[in-house]
Amino acid sequence: MAQSPYTDLARPPLNPVALRRALVVPGGLWTDLALHEATASTNADAATAAREGVPEGLVVVAERQTAGRGRLDRRWESPARAGLAVSVLLRPEKVPAHRYGWLPLLAGVALTGAVRGIAELDAVLKWPNDLLVDGRKCGGILAEAVHDAVILGIGLNVTLRPDELPGPDATSLALEGAGSTDRDPLLRALLRALAQWYERWRDAEGDPDTSGLRAAYLDDCATLGQQVRVALPDGADLVGVATEIDDDGRLVVQPEGAPAQAVASGDVVYVRR
């Protein structure tokens, strides 16, 4: 039997007409918003559109993903209408490619702002862009390059219950006592902030300082100054103090008695000194 979108009253569907009216406006970044009841992965859909030459500004949203992708080849899973799963297609043509590392961090700043503003929770980022509330993860970002386009995919756990979480280190806005778990204003705030930051950063040709992005990221990110262990994609571990975010968005780690290293990707764990 087909499931009615109203089966779970705590999880009402998104309103695509109102979202489009608010977000797809003349002169704005967002050119189209596709809302799917179910799809394999919104990142995969946006990547297909990128390969077909669709211009930047496409937003793909799904109420449910059947093969949601996470960072470092993990999966991203969430029940229908329990979270946000959204991907955007960007083509930052005037920005040098070595600055593209800022894009997932930029999305993290937008997500943090939306969650703080709408859900009224004290959310922070763990480099590169895990969204943590009270030390547990409730959102993440996956950036994927497709030729000269970049797909930014954002997942946010909104009303997941404990038995629906992927593990003990995860949480949802509802479980953290959010002031609101209404996904329409959350998505509007997220996409508005994302457009604002992207336009500032792109117009500054990707410069993290003249755009103000580095300062905003450092305000939101709790990783700097911490003793960390970074699990690198090649399986190695890097242990040291996280000292800065470099000009290309990489995390600089200072190991004891060895030269500092900048890492572009990896999993950070905070360790006690």
Identify the residue among 51, 74, 94, 161 touching ligand BTN (CB under 6 A). 74
Q: Is residue 141 a contact residue for ligand BTN (CB under 6 A)?
A: yes
Is 249 a binding residue for ligand BTN by CB under 6 A? The answer is no
68 binds ligand BTN (CB under 6 A): yes
Would you give the binding string for ligand BTN spanning residues 182-221, x where CB under 6 A is met? Answer: ----------------------------------------
For the chain, give the secondary structure using H, E and C. Answer: CCCCCCCCCCCCCCCHHHHHHHHCCCCCCCCEEEEECCECCHHHHHHHHHHCCCCCCEEEEECCECCCECHHHCECCCCCCCEEEEEEEECCCCCCHHHCCHHHHHHHHHHHHHHHHHHCCCEEEECCCEEEECCEEEEEEEEEEECCEEEEEEEEECCCCHHHCCCCCECCCCCCCCCCCCHHHHHHHHHHHHHHHHHHHHHCCCCCCCCCHHHHHHHHECCCCCEEEEECCCCCEEEEEEEEECCCCCEEEECCCCCCEEECCCEEEECCC
Contact yes or no for 191/216 (Cβ under 8 A): no
Residue 226 interacting with ligand BTN (CB under 6 A): no
Interface with ligand BTN by CB under 6 A: which range of 13-21, 25-33, 88-96, 148-156? 148-156
Among 101, 104, 128, 153, binds ligand BTN (CB under 6 A): 153
**Least spacing, CB of residue 65 vs ligand BTN, in Å:** 6
- Closest approach, Cβ 86 to ligand BTN, in A, equals 6
Binding to ligand BTN by CB under 6 A, coded x per residue (else -) over 80-119, reads: -----xxx--------------------------------
Look at residues 56, 87, 53 and name the one whose alpha carbon lies nearest to residue 69: 87
What is the closest distance, in whole angstroms, from the C-beta atom of residue 116 to ligand BTN in the complex?
19
Q: Does 35 bind ligand BTN (CB under 6 A)?
A: no
Min dist. Cβ of residue 136 to ligand BTN (A): 13
Q: Is 28 in the site for ligand BTN (CB under 6 A)?
A: no
The nearest distance, CB 260 to ligand BTN, in angstroms, is 26
Whose structure tokens read 């009224």? 120
Sign of CA dihedral 244, 246, 247, 249: negative
Q: Of 71 and 250, which CB lies nearer to ligand BTN in the complex structure? A: 71
- Alpha-carbon distance 9 to 170, whole Å? 23
Q: DSSP code of 91?
A: -
112-131 residues near ligand BTN, rule: CB under 6 A? 130
Q: Which is nearer to ligand BTN, 78 or 211 (CB)?
A: 78
Complex with ligand BTN: residue 92 or 139, whichever CB lies closer: 139
CB of 53 to ligand BTN, least distance (A): 21
User: Strand, helix or coil at 131?
Assistant: strand
Q: Which residues of the chain form contacts with ligand BTN (CB under 6 A)?
A: 41-43, 65, 68-71, 74, 76, 85-87, 130, 140-142, 153-155
